[in-house]
Chains A and B, each alone.
Chain A
Amino acid sequence: MSGRRGALLRRGASDRAGAHAGPNMAPMVDVVMVILVFFMASAAFVGPEWLIRALLPSRAGPEATAPRGGGAQPEPGPARIDLVVRAGAGAAGGWSLGIDGADALSPADAEAALLARVRDAESSGRQVEAVLRSEDGVPWEAVIAARDIAARAGIARVGVDHAAPPVSGAPAGR
């Protein structure tokens, strides 16, 4: 009798174990959680870029600054403005902007001067394009800020020239 009872007890134990048979959920949940964290981290780090466009003037001449994809030449007679970012001036941020070889101005004054130039050109029906050059030692953020100034003044076509600018004869920032 005791043997039969023992067999029944063993059978009950095996039935209980069979009820829990199947995939173990704990590792799967762990893996899923890790994948979830991975995608959360990826979403946080990889977002759409905030871009500004800049033409790269070629040494071949200004015609190489045609916009991408067209091969289209600039409109006849666009007014071209040469901008030079100069370092070490007394202007806010430690840089200043020279316009067409004139003495460098503070960023605020340069923006006002550029705006006036653009209005003058537009009143005579001409488009305006600008080529931006920079002295050595000028931080990249100043170049970007100068490019923004030109864009705010209404100049849509701004090239960032890799050539070194001419040495200024006059101290910058006056």
Chain B
Amino acid sequence: MIDVVMVLIVFFLIVGRLASDRAGVRLAESGLGRVDESTPAVTITIAPGPVPPGAAAPAQGAFAARVVVNGLPVADEAELERLLRDAAARWASEHPEAGAGEAGPAETGDGPQAGSVFARLPVQVAADKGLGFERIRPVLAVCARLGVIEVGLITERAP
């Protein structure tokens, strides 16, 4: 029985990781990238499909794709913004050497700010290669609005 339970645990660990991470995402190929082994603060996965169950689906600002941020499904721009702010605050507290400061009330403005923690926040985006750009645009817009200056686009290495 212990053996069976162990096998089940392993099975669900693997399946859960895949399901929350990149399931259903076919990455575009690029020959001009580089290997990055750093740990991003935020990984945004954009996959085709409906908004995942359990996530609210408001009419305005809702994504037309399945957006997952660090394993959490996101339904709309407001929710994405909240998760990015949380991740930025966490990253700033963990990396004081980066001179990021705290992502506190000063980060709640609408526009990007010079020296903002978002300007240094390592963000990676993994989008399905078949998605139309109009489905990816809102995600990039939220990042840019918060002050993210650069993102890493996750691709597959072209042969």
- List the interface of chain A (C-beta within 8 A of B): 27, 30-31, 34, 37-38, 41-42, 45, 48-60, 64-69, 71, 85, 134-141, 143-145, 147-148, 151-152, 160, 162, 164
Contacts and interface: CB of A to CB of B under 8 A. Distances in A.
B149 A67 contact: yes
Given A50-B30, A147-B30, 14 more contacts: A45-B17, A45-B18, A48-B36, A51-B154, A52-B32, A53-B150, A56-B150, A58-B111, A68-B120, A136-B134, A137-B133, A140-B128, A140-B131, A160-B140
A55 B28 contact: no
B139 to A, nearest CB: 8
A139 B151 contact: no
Contact of B124 (A49, A136, A145): A49
Interface residues of B, number: 53
Interface of B: 2-3, 6-7, 10, 13-14, 17-18, 28-37, 111-112, 114-115, 119-120, 124, 127-134, 136-138, 140-141, 143-145, 147-157
A50 B156 contact: yes
A134 B134 CA distance: 8
A68 B119 contact: yes
Interface hub of B17, B137, B154 (most chain A Cβ within 10 A): B137
| Residue of B2, B33, B150 contacting most chain A CB atoms (<10 Å) | B150
Given A50-B154, A51-B152, A51-B154, A140 B133 contact: yes
B124 A51 contact: yes
Contacts of A34: 3, 6-7, 10
